[in-house]
Amino acid sequence: ELVHNAGCASKIAPADLEAVLARLPSVDDPAVLSGIPAGDDAGIYAIGDGMTLVQTVDVFTPCVDDPYLFGRVCAANCMSDVYAMGGVPRTALSIIGFPAETLDSQIMYHMMKGAMDIFAEARVALIGGHSIKDEEIKLGFAITGTIDAESTFGHDTARVGDVLVLTKPLGTGVLNFARQIGRPVGEGMAQAERSMAELNKSAAEAMVEVGVSACTDVTGFGLFGHLISMVRHSGVTAQVYADALPAFDGAIEALAEGVIPGAIERNREYVG
């Protein structure tokens, strides 16, 4: 009730974002191994002596009702970009927007406690941050990690013959929107909340061990928004079988009944 767009649904439409980024000057620095033009989940910067940093930032409005759970979900999501690149998150800086004059500060405490608990699981140190007064709750983190420059996983290196693998089910955006408009969501929402609050660390470690050609973190732009970006940058095409896609309970049914978040419409316009 406190936000207009929940979680990743608050992202700017990809087409609008690309139009702005395309007008910006390029960064001429040989140490930038992956930057804005690549469109990857995180930036990669070589600082010398064999050390390479991977950095990302994300900010969200609440996508769940419980402040503690929201903190966990937000921190887990912010770290996922580093995991998707094959990196290891090390430190975090917080970004908080909070209506301090109208809401109890205990809410902010529980948000941060949830985040710090999952950072502890990931062995990531929260070392600082910045807070501002805002009409809506916003929480995010800038994550810095380390990565082996010789074995990074971008989204622009998919190859013909690759098999697409999803590590988590789809449907969080649909179920969140269904709950916002008062539609019963049942066990599916509980499944989605558990999934969103779970680290992608194990999946990333398996990916590094097995070796993959490309990877991306599926979030606000949806499966097809991120997939379109991957195939366009890689110069390949993809074939997806709808009945093979994993989804949380009730998500497909909600879509069939017309529960369609605005983010889906924006992503549909982008995909074409």
Query: According to the model, what pLDDT value does residue 72 have?
Result: 97
Q: What are the phi and psi torsion angles at 214 (to 5°)?
A: -160, 160
pLDDT digits (tens, 9 = 90+) for 159-188: 999 999 999 999 998 998 888 888 888 899
CATH of the domain at 63: 3.30.1330.10
Query: According to the model, what pLDDT value does residue 28 have?
Result: 86
Does residue 205 fall inside a structural domain? yes
E strand or H helix that includes residue 142: strand 138-146
* Neighbour tally for 26: CB within 10 Å: 9
Does residue 255 fall inside a structural domain? yes
Query: According to the model, what pLDDT value does residue 271 have?
Result: 64
pLDDT digits (tens, 9 = 90+) for 1-49: 555 555 444 567 767 887 888 888 888 899 998 877 766 778 999 998 8
In percent, the amount of the chain with pLDDT more than 70 equals 92
Task: State how far the Cα of 272 lies from the Cα of 263, in Å rounded to an integer.
Answer: 14
Query: According to the model, what pLDDT value does residue 7 have?
Result: 47
Does residue 188 fall inside a structural domain? yes
Q: Is 8 a catalytic residue?
A: yes
Least trusted range by pLDDT, from 129-133, 139-143, 185-189: 185-189
Q: What is the mean pLDDT of residues 225-254?
A: 92
Catalytic residue among 8, 63, 74, 215: 8
Task: State how far the Cα of 192 lies from the Cα of 169, in Å rounded to an integer.
Answer: 8
In terms of DSSP bridges, do strands 125-133 and 88-98 run parallel, antiparallel, or are they unpaired? parallel
Does residue 177 fall inside a structural domain? yes
E strand or H helix that includes residue 127: strand 125-133
Does residue 88 fall inside a structural domain? yes
pLDDT digits (tens, 9 = 90+) for 76-111: 999 999 999 999 999 999 999 999 999 999 999 999
Query: According to the model, what pLDDT value does residue 272 have?
Result: 63
What confidence tier does 148 reach under pLDDT thresholds 50, 70, 90? Answer: confident
pTM as predicted: 0.87
Number of domains in the chain: 1
Does residue 135 fall inside a structural domain? yes
Does residue 48 fall inside a structural domain? yes
From 2, 16, 81, select the one nearest 263 (Cα to Cα): 16
Q: What are the phi and psi torsion angles at 174 (to 5°)?
A: -65, -45
Query: According to the model, what pLDDT value does residue 150 have?
Result: 81
Name the region of 267 (left: φ>0; alpha: ψ -120 to 50; beta: rest).
alpha
pLDDT value at 206 more than 80: yes
pLDDT value at 71 more than 80: yes
Does residue 1 fall inside a structural domain? no
pLDDT digits (tens, 9 = 90+) for 259-272: 887 777 766 766 66
In which domain, by residue range, is 38 found?
Answer: 7-271
Query: According to the model, what pLDDT value does residue 267 have?
Result: 65
